[in-house]
Amino acid sequence: MPDPIESAATALATDPARAEREARALCARMPGDPRVLLIVASAQRRLGRADEALPVLQDLAQRWPNAMRTRYELGLTLAALDRRDDGLAQLERAVTLDPKFRDGWQAIADLTRAGGDSARERVANARLVRLDRGDGVVGQAAEALALGEPARAEALLLPHCRAHSGDGEAVHLLALCRIAVSAFYDAESLLRHALVVKPDLTAARYDLASVLHARSDGQAALTELTPLLQADPDNPVYLNMQASCLMLLGDEDRSEGITGALARRFPDNPHNQVNHGRVLRVLGRRGEAIAAYRQALSVKPTAGDAWWALANLKLGTLDGPDGAAMRAALAGPLANEDRLAIEYAMGRCAEDAGQFGASFTHYQAGAALARAAFTFDPMDHTRRAVAAAHVYTRAFLAQREDWGVDDAAPIFIVGMPRSGSTLVEQILSCHPAVEGTMEMPYIPLIAEQVARAGGPQALSREDVTALGAQYLLRAQVHRRQGRAHFIDKMPGNFLHIGLIRLILPHARIIDVRRHPMASCFSNFKQLFSGGQEYSYDLGDLAGAYRAYLGVIRHFREVAPGAAYTLIYEDLVDDTEGQVRRLLDHCGLPFDPATLRFFENDRAVRTVSSEQVRQPIYRSGLDQWRAFEAHLAPLAVGLGDALEGWRG
């Protein structure tokens, strides 16, 4: 005959009402038995009657202070009564009594995640992975990764993987160590090896898709994601990744269908609401995007990505009550990612209100949090600029001037971010011969491919032609209007002007330039979704701007006409004259539609999406001057670039 106490306890998970009935019947036969009272209290909590469970559990905890399960139930009950800190204290007492108590660690992870206590959540998750993986090398490494210590994890895993290359799970963890430091090509190789030795390692395949997505290779990421979706078509994590990959490929309509369905399916998930809002913004459906962001905040008032998404519309969307709500959020416990996003949103809110000192303080606080998260080398841009000048000399380019693919379709727009490149793209895309696409990742991917093959000097004529053809083939997926020309607006491609000239010698390259103080400060106050690590420090920004100027000036000397420079301030002052000159450079006749660019309803994927849907205005030219008192480190770092930036 089954044990009646065990029967009642088993019923808790699936039928707490039955568990309570059975336990109460047992109370009549076994008055005061702590096991039965614990079942009653647990059932009451599960049935939404935590207030009734609390006195029972407090009495049990007082009488049996070292009863782990009682501490666990008391912790969950206190949390259900909005006494989160008291609940966490009880849960931590439970896992102290039994460090291998998995349910206790999971409850701590869940509560700290909900409360934004990222440090305690990380510890709990680390204990969970250690419990799942055991005490060997793999378990220790998994725990170190969960604690944010990839170097320690890698030191454990490297000798193990060398000795046990067939241990797919260990190789997968080693790949995660490389992902943690953005070494995505190393991670890709390791993940592919892990999948060779263990093809059913689903987590490794998803991480491979994530790595390819992080490198902006949407098509390759979708290829890896497809078998996962086939096996689990309703998995929201896979669907979110699919939607993001489709955005990389310029298929906003399909992406909106997926994110919209997820937002409806999970209305209480702020992440899904924000994702949907971002796609709606790209599609120009501003009101719906705002509603999605507001829905996210109604669910989670501390959702930093939703606050920043509203602020990043740059249309004064935030109001006084919003500022109060954000200040309240900053005063409490927050995950770092929420805190830095809210700091940036507060910076924008204060700037709109003319409170420039307070605004800069918030921008600076957000930038410090962002900068601390990166392993960025501030000399990286300078080194890459010097390397480009060293390889792409006048002689090198002259010897190869007739190499590459003879195709004038691409128009590359380069420069520092936040310098007007999206506006120029919008203007050109209004011409009937030009299609606006997106920030394509293909030139940086080809540049990495070339670097790994020994550099441009190692390429044969056939190699160069193949690379040009590869670029055009990959870009073809974005060309849907059948126009003679298409735009690739990736600002950072200024570092690859030499490569573009080599593989596509007849492509046009437009350098969009803005006053260095205006350009750099606009970057500093922007929270980017990825990349631009130099933008979170004024000194780093100055170095990046000087490196950019150095590259453009180098190619002006060694390949005159390689890049046409358009000054943003001139475009604002004399829009028609500058547009006519730009079209002449591109070999295009003037078309008046290019002056009505703000009427273009094409999808715009950059942070300037709302600005380029309005006529040009002068008010933004000198916004940086209101912050000039705070920008001395930037001015010092820019040095003589402040005087000679136009040349």
Q: What band does 116 get if pLDDT is binned at 50, 70 and 90?
A: low
pLDDT for position 609: 45
When mean pLDDT is compared across 129-138, 178-187, 247-256, the lowest value belongs to 129-138
pLDDT for position 5: 82
Question: If you average pLDDT over residues 598-610, what whole number do you get?
Answer: 55
Alpha helices in 232-303 (DSSP H): 236-248, 252-265, 270-282, 286-299
4-126 maps to CATH 1.25.40.10: yes
- For the segment(s) 164-372, the CATH number from 3.40.50.450, 1.25.40.10, 3.90.1150.10, 2.60.40.1120 is 1.25.40.10
Q: Is a pLDDT exceeding 70 seen at residue 544?
A: yes
Residue among 120, 113, 92, 121 at smallest CA distance from 104:
92
pLDDT digits (tens, 9 = 90+) for 480-501: 888 999 999 999 999 999 999 9
225-229, 314-318, 381-385, range with greatest mean pLDDT: 225-229
Residue among 587, 411, 419 at smallest CA distance from 487:
411
pLDDT digits (tens, 9 = 90+) for 24-52: 888 877 887 888 898 888 899 999 999 99
* Distance of alpha carbon 497 from alpha carbon 388, whole angstroms: 9
For domain 380-644, give the CATH number.
3.40.50.300
Domain ranges in the chain?
4-126, 164-372, 380-644
Which H or E run contains 512?
A: strand 508-513
Q: What is the identity of the amino acid at 424?
A: V
Token pair in block for residue 478 = 């974005």
Q: Is a pLDDT exceeding 90 seen at residue 192?
A: yes
Alpha helices in 332-457 (DSSP H): 336-352, 356-372, 380-391, 394-399, 421-429, 442-452
Q: Are the C-beta atoms of 510 and 405 separated by less than 8 Å? A: no
114 vs 259: which has the higher pLDDT:
259
pLDDT for position 618: 64
pLDDT for position 530: 79
* Distance of alpha carbon 334 from alpha carbon 271, whole angstroms: 16
Q: What band does 314 get if pLDDT is binned at 50, 70 and 90?
A: confident
Task: Walk across the sheet containing 410-414 and list its strands.
Answer: 434-438, 485-489, 410-414, 508-513, 564-567
Question: If you average pLDDT over residues 69-80, what whole number do you get?
Answer: 94
* Distance of alpha carbon 260 from alpha carbon 266, whole angstroms: 10
Q: Are the C-beta atoms of 579 and 595 separated by less than 8 Å? A: yes
Q: Is a pLDDT exceeding 70 seen at residue 610?
A: no
When mean pLDDT is compared across 176-180, 360-364, 620-624, the lowest value belongs to 620-624
pLDDT for position 613: 46
Question: If you average pLDDT over residues 514-519, what whole number do you get?
Answer: 96
> Taking the mean position of all CA atoms in its chain, how far away is CA 130?
28
Q: Is a pLDDT exceeding 90 seen at residue 126?
A: no
What is the pLDDT of the chain when averaged over all its residues? Answer: 90
Q: What is the dihedral of CA 110, 111, 115, 116, to 10 degrees?
A: -40
Q: Is a pLDDT exceeding 80 seen at residue 604?
A: no
Q: List CB contacts of 632: < 8 A, sequence separation 6 or more.
A: none
Q: Report the chain's terminal Cα–Cα distance, integer Å.
A: 92
In the 3-class helix/strand/coil scheme, how is 152-214 assigned residue by residue?
Answer: HHHHHHHHHHHHCCCCHHHHHHHHHHHHHCCCHHHHHHHHHHHHHHCCCCHHHHHHHHHHHHH
SS3 311: helix
* Distance of alpha carbon 436 from alpha carbon 485, whole angstroms: 9
SS3 454: coil
Q: Is a pLDDT exceeding 90 seen at residue 114?
A: no
Q: Can 4-126 and 164-372 be said to share one CATH topology? A: yes
SS3 96: helix
